[in-house]
Chains A and B, each alone.
Chain A
Amino acid sequence: MKKVLSVVLALAMLLAMVGASAVAEPSALLIGVVYKQSGNPYFQAAVTGFEKASQELGFTFMHDGPDDGSSDGQIRIIENYISQGVDVICVSANDPDALVGVLQEAMAEGIKVISWDAEVAPEGRNLDVQPASAKSIALTQLESISKSIGGEGQIAIVSAMATAPNQNLWIGFIEEALATDPAYANLEYVGTVYGDDEYTKSYDETLGLINLHPDLKGIITPTTAGGPAVAKCVLDEGKSIKVTGLTLASDMAEYIKAGVCDETFLWNPIELGYAASYAAVALVKGEITGAAGDAYDVPEIGTLTVEQVQKIGESGELEPAEGTISYLNKLNTFNVDTVDEWVSIL
């Protein structure tokens, strides 16, 4: 009897599943946000950016990340979003290639795909939204150190690995600006040392640099791993050298408060989520297609343009590559007033 009942129940369930049909069609735009891992404060901050935009633009959004930070976890979440009929998927990918298949299926169903923070390979997305181009990252740091030391004196760079392409690209832009921009005419660039993203090596290299150049006024360290070592060394030596760079707020808070750093930088996940939302809505409304040359407005940040992706080629120069990207070109500044609110996030 129970078996009969269970079979009847199962059949009823099957019929019900087939028979169900849409009753009300909500008009609001639905965005599915996928990030690398749940419970990560960086992505929780990014979600507040989506939230702010959702109130301004009137869309609804869901957000989730796998708890193990895996690609197949992201695939599960994306498949759930597809079956819920989202209009846009905004994803920060754990692996650029692993999601391509499922995202191509999404695009085939008319869903727009934006990668933000961590890119998806070009064939699996409509647009990539990133915080800052290499050039703006380089120039922001140079401008900051110049301001800190009053526009004149010796400066140096403590980089990561000598072979790191992104580091070398940034250093290239800094060297170029130093050579050509009259604003930096009074800065003397004494060279770059490499700390290999190791704390002790970065510390020792910085010590060598300070001993070699007693008149050194400023150090740029465009590496989150090297930053704290450089600042610690300067603090230990008691020199009046200013340090800036791309660093985590949590690493640098004590040095910012000690006056070693006037300001350091990293991108702002809140603004990244906010800008990705505006890009998503512009894509759905057809205001942009994700092709190079498109432009969309993001309040407080400005008009963002869609550019052809440029990758670092064999020669170390930027070369055009597949896919389109749009940069916020706005870095998050940590100084003595703001660093505390970022310590728990970055």
Chain B
Amino acid sequence: MKQRLKRILLSWEAMLIVVFAIVCVAFNQQDASRQAAGLSKKDVFNLASVIKSMRPYMLYSFMTLGIALILAMGDIDISAGASAALSAAMLGILYKTMMDAGVPSGLSLALALVGCVATGTLCGAANGFLVIRFKELFPMIITLTTQLFFRGVAFLLLGGGTLTFKNDKTFDLLKTLYNTVTIGGISIPIVIIVFLAFAAVFYVWLHLTANGRRIFALGTNSKAAYLSGVRTDKIKFTMFTICGLLSSVTAVFFVGATSSSIRADSMVGYEMYAIAAAVLGGFSTSGGKGSIVGVVISLFLFGVIKIGLGTLYGFADSMVNMSVGVILILSTLLPNVAAQINAAGRVRKRRASSLV
């Protein structure tokens, strides 16, 4: 019992929560002192406004879940942003084609959404196939090439321009995905609610089922997992496919967020935001560890930090990204350094005891 409690307290998630709390308290202090000094026009950092401002930082949350699965296996997927862009392109192109062909708008949108998700899924499946077929190549290299390929196809479909559907009531339904719903006097973005639902499902699957355990087993030692009867290739293929599917969910929300304007150069670097959030959440590129709870906390933590630095400290967008980079380096280094210090301590202890 005591062991268990100790494990929870020393867990990565608990640390994240502590950091989260410290950040919030610090930002809140800054907000109060800015107001007292008459520097800000209104209360910037309060629960309602922070939750509402969280929207743009939650767009890649779905992709982050997918990336987390890949990281758990010890692989990486850097094509997620491009496959999302291709999915968004397909959404627009399919809708346009069907509308031009006289298909009713509601049906067009539904089919285009299906096509969008299917495109993302296919992109993911392509990655998965290449990864298990060409084991001599690193997934990093494979997904780098598919990234260029997916982005290229998106450009072929859309050209350099923007595809929009002005005053199209049906397509504008996607814009509502970026809206908020008011619960208990606080406007909560729809994207957050949907994401939490996704996260719950993934939590159960990854942490509470045998299939989830197999993914971590594969990430810890794929050979051992294979020899003990885990179908590693099948799992890898499935995870990459799911990551592609989740990227297309991000694409749908992105189209909603940008007022239904679809561009081939959208969501550049989203896979990096997603990898960053997953790593801060406790997943590691060497595989075998991490938790969905950590990912959820780290996504919110990133959002709060970015909002706070931007609004309370007047950091420019580029500075905000730089600061997040620093946080990420520290957060990935600290556990390693701590482990090294621990190991050194153990060696010293052993030497001391062997001397006696």
Question: B-contacting residues of A (Cβ < 8 Å)?
Answer: 1-3, 5-7, 9-10, 12-14, 16-18, 20-26, 30, 38-39, 62, 64-68, 70-73, 75-77, 79-80, 83-86, 95-102, 121, 124
Contact = CB atoms under 8 A, between A and B. Distances in A.
A24 B53 contact: no
A124 to B, nearest CB: 8
A26 B41 CA distance: 6
Contacts of B46: 17-18, 20
A3 B14 contact: yes
A72 B258 contact: yes
A117 B317 CA distance: 20
Contacts of B47: 14, 17-18
Contact of B311 (A6, A68, A84, A101): A84
Nearest to A29: B41
B2 to A, nearest CB: 12
A-B complex: 9 closest residue pairs judged by Cβ atoms: A67-B318, A9-B21, A13-B24, A85-B41, A98-B258, A101-B259, A24-B38, A85-B42, A97-B261
- Interface centre among A14, A18, A24, by most chain B C-beta atoms within 10 angstroms, is A24
Contacts of A70: 265-266, 268
Given A70-B266, A71-B261, A83-B44, A77 B317 contact: yes
A76 B56 contact: yes
A20 B45 contact: yes
Interface centre among B41, B47, B175, B263, by most A CB within 10 Å? B41
A101 B257 contact: yes
A17 B318 CA distance: 26
B40 interface: yes
A71 B259 CA distance: 10
A163 to B, nearest CB: 15
A73 B317 contact: yes
B326 interface: no
A66 B316 CA distance: 8
A121 B166 CA distance: 10
B181 interface: no
Contacts of B52: 79, 83
A79 B53 contact: yes
Contact of B28 (A10, A20, A97): A20
A124 B261 CA distance: 14
A95 B261 contact: yes
B17 A10 contact: yes
Contacts of B40: 26, 84-85
A5 B261 CA distance: 46
Interface stretch (B29-37, B123-131, B146-154): B29-37
28 contacts: A3-B5, A6-B17, A9-B22, A14-B24, A14-B47, A16-B25, A20-B28, A20-B31, A20-B32, A38-B318, A65-B317, A71-B266, A72-B266, A75-B258, A76-B306, A84-B40, A84-B42, A85-B41, A95-B261, A95-B263, A96-B162, A97-B162, A97-B164, A97-B166, A97-B259, A98-B259, A98-B263, A102-B259
Given A9-B25, A20-B46, A68-B268, A80 B9 contact: no
